[in-house]
Amino acid sequence: MITFYPNCTLPPTTPAFVLGPNTRSTLSIVWNCLGTLILCTWSILHLNVPPQLTPRSTAQIIRRWLYHSGTKLKWMVITILAPETIMGIAYSALKSAWDSDKVLSELANGDGVEWSTAHSFFADMGGFVVMFEEWAGQDMALMDGSNLWALTAAQVALARNRNIISCLPSLSKDELRDKNKGDLLVKSLALFQILWMILQLFVRWKNNKQASQLEIMTLSFAVCPCIIYMLTWSRPQDIHTPIIVRANRRATSDDITALARIGPEYFWFERKHYTMPNNVVHSLWPMSLSGGAGAILFGLLHYLASKFTFPTLVEDSLWTASCFVTFLAPVVCFLATFANNPNKWLASLKLDRSDDGTFNWQLIVSFAVPFVFARLFLLVELFRTLYFLPPEVYTSTWGANVP
Protein backbone atom coordinates (compact mmCIF):
# COMPACT_ATOMS: atom_id res chain seq x y z
CA MET A 1 0.00 0.00 0.00
CA ILE A 2 1.36 3.39 -1.00
CA THR A 3 1.50 6.00 1.79
CA PHE A 4 1.84 9.72 1.10
CA TYR A 5 3.41 11.98 3.74
CA PRO A 6 2.49 15.68 3.29
CA ASN A 7 5.24 18.20 4.04
CA CYS A 8 4.14 21.48 5.62
CA THR A 9 6.42 24.49 6.13
CA LEU A 10 7.06 25.39 9.77
CA PRO A 11 6.11 28.94 10.91
CA PRO A 12 8.80 31.56 11.58
CA THR A 13 10.17 32.12 15.08
CA THR A 14 8.36 35.45 15.38
CA PRO A 15 5.00 35.38 17.22
CA ALA A 16 2.15 34.58 14.85
CA PHE A 17 -1.30 33.03 14.65
CA VAL A 18 -0.81 29.71 12.83
CA LEU A 19 -3.71 28.43 10.75
CA GLY A 20 -4.35 24.78 10.02
CA PRO A 21 -2.84 23.18 6.91
CA ASN A 22 -4.75 23.32 3.64
CA THR A 23 -4.85 19.53 3.40
CA ARG A 24 -6.59 16.73 5.25
CA SER A 25 -5.63 13.08 5.59
CA THR A 26 -7.49 9.84 4.97
CA LEU A 27 -7.66 9.15 8.70
CA SER A 28 -9.01 12.62 9.47
CA ILE A 29 -11.88 11.93 7.05
CA VAL A 30 -12.50 8.52 8.62
CA TRP A 31 -12.39 9.72 12.25
CA ASN A 32 -14.62 12.71 11.54
CA CYS A 33 -17.23 10.45 9.94
CA LEU A 34 -16.98 7.71 12.58
CA GLY A 35 -17.23 10.27 15.39
CA THR A 36 -20.43 11.65 13.89
CA LEU A 37 -21.88 8.17 13.40
CA ILE A 38 -21.11 6.99 16.94
CA LEU A 39 -22.38 10.18 18.58
CA CYS A 40 -25.61 10.11 16.56
CA THR A 41 -26.39 6.41 16.96
CA TRP A 42 -25.70 6.46 20.70
CA SER A 43 -27.82 9.53 21.44
CA ILE A 44 -30.91 8.64 19.36
CA LEU A 45 -31.55 5.25 20.97
CA HIS A 46 -34.65 5.24 23.20
CA LEU A 47 -34.75 1.61 24.34
CA ASN A 48 -37.63 0.09 26.26
CA VAL A 49 -37.57 -0.75 29.96
CA PRO A 50 -35.44 -3.91 30.29
CA PRO A 51 -36.26 -7.03 32.34
CA GLN A 52 -35.72 -6.51 36.06
CA LEU A 53 -32.63 -8.33 37.31
CA THR A 54 -31.67 -8.18 40.99
CA PRO A 55 -27.93 -8.90 41.27
CA ARG A 56 -26.76 -10.61 44.44
CA SER A 57 -23.03 -10.65 43.74
CA THR A 58 -20.37 -8.63 41.99
CA ALA A 59 -20.38 -11.06 39.08
CA GLN A 60 -24.12 -10.58 38.63
CA ILE A 61 -23.71 -6.80 38.74
CA ILE A 62 -21.12 -7.06 35.96
CA ARG A 63 -23.41 -9.38 33.97
CA ARG A 64 -26.29 -6.93 34.29
CA TRP A 65 -24.07 -4.08 33.11
CA LEU A 66 -22.87 -6.17 30.18
CA TYR A 67 -26.48 -7.04 29.33
CA HIS A 68 -27.57 -3.38 29.24
CA SER A 69 -24.44 -2.25 27.38
CA GLY A 70 -24.63 -5.16 24.94
CA THR A 71 -28.28 -4.40 24.18
CA LYS A 72 -27.49 -0.78 23.41
CA LEU A 73 -24.45 -1.75 21.34
CA LYS A 74 -26.57 -4.22 19.34
CA TRP A 75 -29.13 -1.54 18.52
CA MET A 76 -26.35 0.89 17.63
CA VAL A 77 -25.17 -1.60 14.99
CA ILE A 78 -28.76 -2.02 13.75
CA THR A 79 -29.06 1.77 13.51
CA ILE A 80 -25.89 1.98 11.41
CA LEU A 81 -26.93 -0.89 9.12
CA ALA A 82 -30.60 0.10 8.80
CA PRO A 83 -31.35 3.61 10.13
CA GLU A 84 -34.74 3.60 8.41
CA THR A 85 -35.80 0.76 10.74
CA ILE A 86 -35.21 2.92 13.82
CA MET A 87 -37.02 5.81 12.13
CA GLY A 88 -39.99 3.55 11.41
CA ILE A 89 -40.11 2.33 15.02
CA ALA A 90 -39.88 5.94 16.27
CA TYR A 91 -42.81 7.12 14.15
CA SER A 92 -44.83 4.03 15.06
CA ALA A 93 -44.30 4.81 18.76
CA LEU A 94 -45.20 8.47 18.26
CA LYS A 95 -48.45 7.61 16.45
CA SER A 96 -49.35 5.09 19.15
CA ALA A 97 -48.78 7.72 21.86
CA TRP A 98 -50.89 10.27 19.98
CA ASP A 99 -53.70 7.76 19.38
CA SER A 100 -53.89 6.93 23.10
CA ASP A 101 -53.43 10.44 24.46
CA LYS A 102 -57.03 11.67 24.23
CA VAL A 103 -58.61 8.64 25.93
CA LEU A 104 -55.96 8.43 28.63
CA SER A 105 -56.10 12.17 29.34
CA GLU A 106 -59.86 11.93 29.92
CA LEU A 107 -59.40 8.92 32.20
CA ALA A 108 -56.59 10.71 34.05
CA ASN A 109 -58.82 13.72 34.70
CA GLY A 110 -61.45 11.43 36.19
CA ASP A 111 -58.88 9.62 38.34
CA GLY A 112 -57.19 12.84 39.45
CA VAL A 113 -53.72 11.93 38.12
CA GLU A 114 -51.39 13.64 35.67
CA TRP A 115 -51.01 12.44 32.10
CA SER A 116 -49.07 13.65 29.06
CA THR A 117 -47.64 12.36 25.80
CA ALA A 118 -44.51 11.40 27.73
CA HIS A 119 -46.68 9.12 29.92
CA SER A 120 -48.06 7.42 26.81
CA PHE A 121 -44.52 6.96 25.52
CA PHE A 122 -43.52 5.56 28.92
CA ALA A 123 -46.38 3.05 28.82
CA ASP A 124 -45.45 1.92 25.31
CA MET A 125 -41.89 1.39 26.56
CA GLY A 126 -43.16 -1.11 29.11
CA GLY A 127 -43.02 1.41 31.94
CA PHE A 128 -46.33 0.37 33.54
CA VAL A 129 -46.41 -3.25 34.66
CA VAL A 130 -49.62 -4.75 36.04
CA MET A 131 -49.19 -7.24 38.88
CA PHE A 132 -51.94 -9.85 39.18
CA GLU A 133 -52.46 -11.27 42.65
CA GLU A 134 -52.64 -15.01 43.36
CA TRP A 135 -56.39 -15.40 43.76
CA ALA A 136 -57.51 -18.67 45.27
CA GLY A 137 -58.08 -21.48 42.79
CA GLN A 138 -56.52 -19.63 39.86
CA ASP A 139 -53.15 -19.90 38.22
CA MET A 140 -52.23 -16.34 37.28
CA ALA A 141 -48.97 -17.15 35.47
CA LEU A 142 -49.32 -15.10 32.29
CA MET A 143 -45.93 -15.24 30.64
CA ASP A 144 -42.57 -16.77 31.52
CA GLY A 145 -43.95 -18.03 34.83
CA SER A 146 -44.67 -14.48 35.98
CA ASN A 147 -47.80 -12.76 37.25
CA LEU A 148 -46.62 -9.50 35.68
CA TRP A 149 -47.67 -7.98 32.35
CA ALA A 150 -46.26 -4.80 30.79
CA LEU A 151 -49.14 -2.98 29.08
CA THR A 152 -48.98 -0.50 26.21
CA ALA A 153 -50.77 2.85 26.45
CA ALA A 154 -53.78 1.45 24.56
CA GLN A 155 -53.85 -1.59 26.84
CA VAL A 156 -53.65 0.61 29.95
CA ALA A 157 -56.74 2.49 28.75
CA LEU A 158 -58.59 -0.76 28.10
CA ALA A 159 -57.55 -2.20 31.47
CA ARG A 160 -58.89 0.93 33.17
CA ASN A 161 -62.18 0.83 31.25
CA ARG A 162 -62.63 -2.85 32.16
CA ASN A 163 -61.77 -2.10 35.80
CA ILE A 164 -58.78 -4.46 35.72
CA ILE A 165 -56.96 -1.57 37.38
CA SER A 166 -58.91 0.74 39.67
CA CYS A 167 -57.22 3.94 38.42
CA LEU A 168 -54.44 5.06 36.16
CA PRO A 169 -50.91 4.94 37.61
CA SER A 170 -50.03 7.96 39.69
CA LEU A 171 -46.83 9.33 38.18
CA SER A 172 -46.38 13.09 38.05
CA LYS A 173 -44.68 14.86 35.17
CA ASP A 174 -41.83 15.86 37.49
CA GLU A 175 -41.33 12.25 38.63
CA LEU A 176 -41.28 11.04 35.04
CA ARG A 177 -38.87 13.81 34.11
CA ASP A 178 -36.64 12.72 36.98
CA LYS A 179 -36.62 9.11 35.71
CA ASN A 180 -35.68 10.31 32.23
CA LYS A 181 -31.92 10.06 31.70
CA GLY A 182 -31.89 11.69 28.27
CA ASP A 183 -28.92 14.04 28.08
CA LEU A 184 -29.81 17.26 26.28
CA LEU A 185 -26.12 18.19 26.03
CA VAL A 186 -25.24 14.95 24.19
CA LYS A 187 -28.16 15.42 21.79
CA SER A 188 -27.19 19.05 21.22
CA LEU A 189 -23.60 18.03 20.47
CA ALA A 190 -24.83 15.37 18.04
CA LEU A 191 -27.07 17.87 16.26
CA PHE A 192 -24.23 20.40 16.12
CA GLN A 193 -21.92 17.75 14.66
CA ILE A 194 -24.54 16.88 12.02
CA LEU A 195 -25.09 20.53 11.08
CA TRP A 196 -21.35 21.12 10.98
CA MET A 197 -20.85 18.22 8.57
CA ILE A 198 -23.68 19.47 6.35
CA LEU A 199 -22.07 22.93 6.31
CA GLN A 200 -18.67 21.50 5.39
CA LEU A 201 -20.12 19.45 2.54
CA PHE A 202 -22.03 22.50 1.31
CA VAL A 203 -18.84 24.59 1.30
CA ARG A 204 -17.00 21.88 -0.65
CA TRP A 205 -19.85 21.77 -3.17
CA LYS A 206 -19.83 25.57 -3.59
CA ASN A 207 -16.05 25.51 -4.14
CA ASN A 208 -16.30 22.60 -6.62
CA LYS A 209 -14.29 20.34 -4.34
CA GLN A 210 -15.29 16.69 -4.32
CA ALA A 211 -16.08 15.00 -1.01
CA SER A 212 -15.57 11.32 -0.24
CA GLN A 213 -18.22 8.62 -0.53
CA LEU A 214 -17.80 7.98 3.20
CA GLU A 215 -18.82 11.57 3.97
CA ILE A 216 -21.92 11.25 1.79
CA MET A 217 -22.83 8.03 3.61
CA THR A 218 -22.36 9.80 6.94
CA LEU A 219 -24.62 12.59 5.71
CA SER A 220 -27.25 9.97 4.82
CA PHE A 221 -27.03 8.46 8.29
CA ALA A 222 -26.99 11.89 9.95
CA VAL A 223 -30.24 13.07 8.35
CA CYS A 224 -32.17 10.13 9.83
CA PRO A 225 -31.17 10.99 13.44
CA CYS A 226 -32.37 14.56 12.90
CA ILE A 227 -35.81 13.19 12.02
CA ILE A 228 -35.70 10.65 14.86
CA TYR A 229 -34.85 13.43 17.35
CA MET A 230 -38.07 15.22 16.38
CA LEU A 231 -40.13 12.01 16.56
CA THR A 232 -38.82 11.08 20.03
CA TRP A 233 -38.62 14.56 21.56
CA SER A 234 -41.16 13.75 24.32
CA ARG A 235 -40.06 10.14 24.82
CA PRO A 236 -38.14 9.29 28.01
CA GLN A 237 -34.71 7.73 27.59
CA ASP A 238 -32.65 5.12 29.47
CA ILE A 239 -35.28 4.21 32.07
CA HIS A 240 -34.42 0.89 33.70
CA THR A 241 -37.20 0.40 36.27
CA PRO A 242 -40.98 0.24 35.64
CA ILE A 243 -43.91 1.34 37.78
CA ILE A 244 -45.76 -1.63 39.29
CA VAL A 245 -49.57 -1.30 39.20
CA ARG A 246 -51.60 -3.79 41.24
CA ALA A 247 -54.59 -5.30 39.48
CA ASN A 248 -58.01 -4.50 40.94
CA ARG A 249 -59.40 -7.91 40.04
CA ARG A 250 -58.40 -11.06 38.25
CA ALA A 251 -58.28 -10.92 34.45
CA THR A 252 -60.73 -13.23 32.70
CA SER A 253 -59.97 -15.03 29.46
CA ASP A 254 -62.11 -12.42 27.69
CA ASP A 255 -59.97 -9.64 29.21
CA ILE A 256 -56.75 -11.35 28.14
CA THR A 257 -58.09 -11.80 24.60
CA ALA A 258 -59.21 -8.17 24.37
CA LEU A 259 -55.85 -6.91 25.63
CA ALA A 260 -53.97 -9.17 23.23
CA ARG A 261 -56.04 -7.98 20.26
CA ILE A 262 -54.79 -4.41 20.68
CA GLY A 263 -51.28 -5.50 21.60
CA PRO A 264 -48.23 -4.55 19.54
CA GLU A 265 -46.57 -6.43 16.70
CA TYR A 266 -43.04 -7.86 16.79
CA PHE A 267 -40.43 -8.29 14.11
CA TRP A 268 -37.43 -10.65 13.98
CA PHE A 269 -38.39 -12.48 17.20
CA GLU A 270 -41.40 -12.85 19.47
CA ARG A 271 -41.95 -11.55 22.99
CA LYS A 272 -40.34 -13.85 25.55
CA HIS A 273 -40.78 -11.98 28.83
CA TYR A 274 -43.42 -9.84 30.51
CA THR A 275 -41.42 -6.75 29.53
CA MET A 276 -41.78 -4.82 26.28
CA PRO A 277 -38.97 -5.90 23.90
CA ASN A 278 -37.13 -3.35 21.80
CA ASN A 279 -38.35 -4.92 18.56
CA VAL A 280 -41.95 -4.03 19.36
CA VAL A 281 -44.00 -2.19 16.72
CA HIS A 282 -47.13 -0.48 18.03
CA SER A 283 -48.54 0.34 14.61
CA LEU A 284 -47.31 -1.71 11.68
CA TRP A 285 -48.28 0.39 8.68
CA PRO A 286 -46.97 3.71 10.04
CA MET A 287 -43.66 1.94 10.62
CA SER A 288 -43.69 0.60 7.07
CA LEU A 289 -44.51 3.99 5.57
CA SER A 290 -41.99 5.99 7.58
CA GLY A 291 -39.33 3.27 7.29
CA GLY A 292 -39.87 3.20 3.54
CA ALA A 293 -39.61 6.99 3.39
CA GLY A 294 -36.35 6.75 5.33
CA ALA A 295 -34.99 4.16 2.89
CA ILE A 296 -35.92 6.39 -0.05
CA LEU A 297 -34.20 9.38 1.55
CA PHE A 298 -31.18 7.22 2.38
CA GLY A 299 -30.86 6.04 -1.24
CA LEU A 300 -31.35 9.50 -2.74
CA LEU A 301 -28.61 10.99 -0.56
CA HIS A 302 -26.23 8.19 -1.56
CA TYR A 303 -26.98 9.05 -5.18
CA LEU A 304 -25.24 12.39 -4.62
CA ALA A 305 -21.96 10.46 -4.77
CA SER A 306 -22.75 8.82 -8.11
CA LYS A 307 -20.77 11.54 -9.93
CA PHE A 308 -17.70 11.04 -7.74
CA THR A 309 -14.56 9.20 -8.79
CA PHE A 310 -14.66 5.39 -8.46
CA PRO A 311 -11.85 2.84 -8.91
CA THR A 312 -13.54 1.32 -11.99
CA LEU A 313 -16.48 2.05 -14.28
CA VAL A 314 -18.15 -1.17 -13.10
CA GLU A 315 -18.13 0.03 -9.50
CA ASP A 316 -19.46 3.40 -10.61
CA SER A 317 -22.38 1.68 -12.37
CA LEU A 318 -23.00 -0.67 -9.44
CA TRP A 319 -23.10 2.30 -7.04
CA THR A 320 -25.74 4.04 -9.15
CA ALA A 321 -27.75 0.83 -9.51
CA SER A 322 -27.57 0.16 -5.76
CA CYS A 323 -28.85 3.67 -5.04
CA PHE A 324 -31.82 3.10 -7.34
CA VAL A 325 -32.56 -0.28 -5.73
CA THR A 326 -32.34 1.27 -2.25
CA PHE A 327 -34.94 3.98 -2.86
CA LEU A 328 -37.13 2.17 -5.40
CA ALA A 329 -37.52 -1.19 -3.63
CA PRO A 330 -39.61 0.21 -0.71
CA VAL A 331 -41.89 2.08 -3.14
CA VAL A 332 -42.44 -0.90 -5.44
CA CYS A 333 -42.90 -3.23 -2.46
CA PHE A 334 -45.51 -0.95 -0.90
CA LEU A 335 -47.43 -0.45 -4.14
CA ALA A 336 -47.37 -4.18 -4.92
CA THR A 337 -48.62 -5.06 -1.45
CA PHE A 338 -51.38 -2.44 -1.59
CA ALA A 339 -52.48 -3.50 -5.08
CA ASN A 340 -52.56 -7.13 -3.94
CA ASN A 341 -55.33 -6.43 -1.42
CA PRO A 342 -56.28 -2.77 -0.83
CA ASN A 343 -59.29 -3.61 1.38
CA LYS A 344 -57.16 -5.55 3.82
CA TRP A 345 -54.58 -2.75 3.80
CA LEU A 346 -57.25 -0.21 4.73
CA ALA A 347 -58.57 -2.51 7.45
CA SER A 348 -55.07 -2.80 8.91
CA LEU A 349 -55.08 0.93 9.68
CA LYS A 350 -57.51 0.25 12.52
CA LEU A 351 -56.31 -0.30 16.06
CA ASP A 352 -57.41 -3.95 16.07
CA ARG A 353 -54.45 -5.95 14.82
CA SER A 354 -55.95 -9.43 15.14
CA ASP A 355 -55.72 -10.01 11.35
CA ASP A 356 -52.19 -11.18 10.71
CA GLY A 357 -52.47 -11.52 6.95
CA THR A 358 -52.15 -7.94 5.81
CA PHE A 359 -48.70 -8.24 4.30
CA ASN A 360 -47.80 -10.39 1.33
CA TRP A 361 -44.53 -11.71 2.72
CA GLN A 362 -43.51 -13.31 -0.58
CA LEU A 363 -43.58 -9.89 -2.24
CA ILE A 364 -41.66 -8.34 0.63
CA VAL A 365 -38.94 -10.99 0.60
CA SER A 366 -38.57 -10.77 -3.19
CA PHE A 367 -37.77 -7.06 -2.88
CA ALA A 368 -35.83 -7.37 0.38
CA VAL A 369 -33.13 -9.63 -1.08
CA PRO A 370 -31.86 -7.17 -3.74
CA PHE A 371 -32.33 -4.34 -1.22
CA VAL A 372 -30.00 -6.04 1.28
CA PHE A 373 -27.36 -6.79 -1.36
CA ALA A 374 -27.51 -3.19 -2.61
CA ARG A 375 -27.09 -1.86 0.93
CA LEU A 376 -24.13 -4.19 1.59
CA PHE A 377 -22.43 -3.10 -1.62
CA LEU A 378 -22.75 0.56 -0.65
CA LEU A 379 -21.21 -0.12 2.77
CA VAL A 380 -18.26 -2.05 1.34
CA GLU A 381 -17.65 0.29 -1.59
CA LEU A 382 -17.49 3.48 0.45
CA PHE A 383 -14.51 2.11 2.42
CA ARG A 384 -12.83 0.73 -0.71
CA THR A 385 -13.00 4.12 -2.43
CA LEU A 386 -11.00 5.73 0.39
CA TYR A 387 -7.82 4.36 -1.22
CA PHE A 388 -8.72 5.75 -4.66
CA LEU A 389 -9.81 9.30 -3.82
CA PRO A 390 -8.63 12.06 -6.19
CA PRO A 391 -6.21 14.71 -4.81
CA GLU A 392 -8.90 17.42 -4.62
CA VAL A 393 -10.69 15.46 -1.87
CA TYR A 394 -7.71 16.06 0.41
CA THR A 395 -7.79 19.84 0.04
CA SER A 396 -9.41 21.43 3.06
CA THR A 397 -11.76 24.41 3.28
CA TRP A 398 -11.98 27.28 5.76
CA GLY A 399 -13.68 24.79 8.09
CA ALA A 400 -10.25 23.37 8.95
CA ASN A 401 -9.56 26.51 11.01
CA VAL A 402 -12.77 26.20 13.03
CA PRO A 403 -12.53 23.95 16.13
pLDDT of residue 23: 82
In a domain, 7, yes or no: no
* pLDDT > 60? residue 340: no
- pLDDT, average across residues 323-328: 86
- pLDDT, average across residues 13-34: 83
Helices 117-124, 153-161: axis angle to 10 degrees equals 100
In a domain, 396, yes or no: yes
With beta carbons less than 8 A apart as the criterion, state whether 337 and 360 touch. yes
Q: Which residues contact 231 (CB under 8 A, 6 or more apart)?
A: 87, 90, 91, 93, 94
With beta carbons less than 8 A apart as the criterion, state whether 264 and 281 touch. yes
The pLDDT confidence band at residue 318, using thresholds 50, 70 and 90, is: very high
Model confidence over 172-195: pLDDT tens digits?
Answer: 989 998 888 877 777 788 888 888
In a domain, 328, yes or no: yes
In a domain, 141, yes or no: no
Give DSSP secondary structure letters for 298-334.
HHHHHHGGGGS--SSHHHHHHHHHHHHHHHHHHHHHH
Q: Residue 370 sits in which domain range?
A: 26-111+182-237+278-401
In a domain, 77, yes or no: yes
With beta carbons less than 8 A apart as the criterion, state whether 235 and 46 touch. yes
Q: Using the 8-state DSSP alphabet, how is residue 137 labeled?
A: T
* pLDDT > 60? residue 139: no
Identify the residue with better confidence: 327 or 353. Answer: 327
Q: Using the 8-state DSSP alphabet, how is residue 130 labeled?
A: E
pLDDT of residue 252: 83
Model confidence over 88-125: pLDDT tens digits?
Answer: 889 989 999 998 988 999 999 999 999 999 999 999 99
* pLDDT > 80? residue 156: yes
Q: Using the 8-state DSSP alphabet, how is residue 143 labeled?
A: B
The pLDDT confidence band at residue 154, using thresholds 50, 70 and 90, is: very high
Domain count for the chain: 1
In a domain, 93, yes or no: yes
Q: Which residue stretches of 45-82 are H helix?
A: 58-81
Is the alpha carbon torsion for 180, 186, 192, 195 positive or negative? negative
* pLDDT > 70? residue 358: no
- pLDDT, average across residues 358-374: 70
The residue length of the chain stands at 403
The pLDDT confidence band at residue 353, using thresholds 50, 70 and 90, is: very low
In a domain, 116, yes or no: no
What span, in angstroms and rounded, lies between the C-alpha atoms of 336 and 185? 44
> Where is average pLDDT lowest: 125-129, 162-166, 337-341?
337-341
In a domain, 123, yes or no: no
Give DSSP secondary structure letters for 144-165.
TTBSEEE--HHHHHHHHHTTSS
